[in-house]
Amino acid sequence: RKFLEVAWGAMEDAGHPPESLDGPIGVYAGCGMGSYFYFNICSNKPLVDDVGMFLLRHTGNDKDFLSTRVSHVFDLKGPSVNIQTACSTSLVAVHYASKALREGECEMALAGGVTIELPQGRGYLFKENEILSPDGHCHAFDHRAQGTVFGSGAGAVALRRLEDALRDGDHIWAVIKGSAINNDGADKADYLAPSVEGQASAVRQALRAADTPPDTIDYVEC
């Protein structure tokens, strides 16, 4: 439900509701595990008995149907692809949405993701050798870094080919010059931590795709 809201918000902000474009609109997105479905719906036996597990799952409660739900509700006829790469899902969705635009598969593409933890603010129990921070804080690129803290949120962007956006007078928030994805296989520091070489390789690929020399970049945001 939240991703439907941000998907519509992205199209509205872009000034391109579905009926405004002649070509198809694609959706590339993913979401985290729906804890509400497992904790609140599956445990409601009268509801399961009345509606049936198939309909409960397939009509909006399973993460495998996130993108096609958006396409159905907004009558979008472009590719509708569910992406799932854990923490990198939204960025990988942007990568593949951009690729689809370059290859002419759609006129506009929605890309993004959503994860919402329920109940909100429940906290967690710290355990040694797990990914969660012992002090409840995330200190990225800092000597105090000890782990991460999960949050909830939803986000989507509306992407178009630059020449099309310029032609139509769209407001352009940013231009994606290039992107790249990879996997470092068994070279990770451990399963939940990427290797230095794997990260560096992805950066090199993205720079090549963008045709951007590294010495021209003076600001990096992570």
Q: pLDDT tens, 84-121? A: 999 999 999 999 999 999 999 999 999 999 998 877 77
d(CA 77, CA 75): 6
Here the tokens at position 145 are: 């870094």
Other C-beta atoms closer than 10 Å to the C-beta of 54 total 8
Looking at the predicted structure, is the pLDDT value of residue 49 above 80?
yes
Overall size of the chain counted in residues:
222
Q: Which of 85, 109, 89 is nearest to 97 (CA)?
A: 109
pLDDT reported for residue 161: 98
Domains of the chain: 1-117+152-176 (3.40.47.10), 178-221 (no CATH)
Other C-beta atoms closer than 10 Å to the C-beta of 210 total 15
Q: Identify the DSSP state of 172.
A: -
**What dihedral do alpha carbons 28, 78, 108, 206 form, nearest 10°?**
40
Q: Which residues neighbour 214 within 8 Å (Cβ) at sequence distance 6 or greater?
A: 207
At how many degrees (to 10) do helices 2-14 and 66-74 cross? 50
Arithmetic mean of pLDDT over the chain? 93
The SS3 assignment for 57 reads helix
The SS3 assignment for 1 reads coil
| Range scoring the smallest mean pLDDT among 31-35, 74-78, 200-204 | 31-35
pTM assigned to the model: 0.91
Q: pLDDT tens, 123-155? A: 889 998 888 999 999 998 899 999 999 889 999
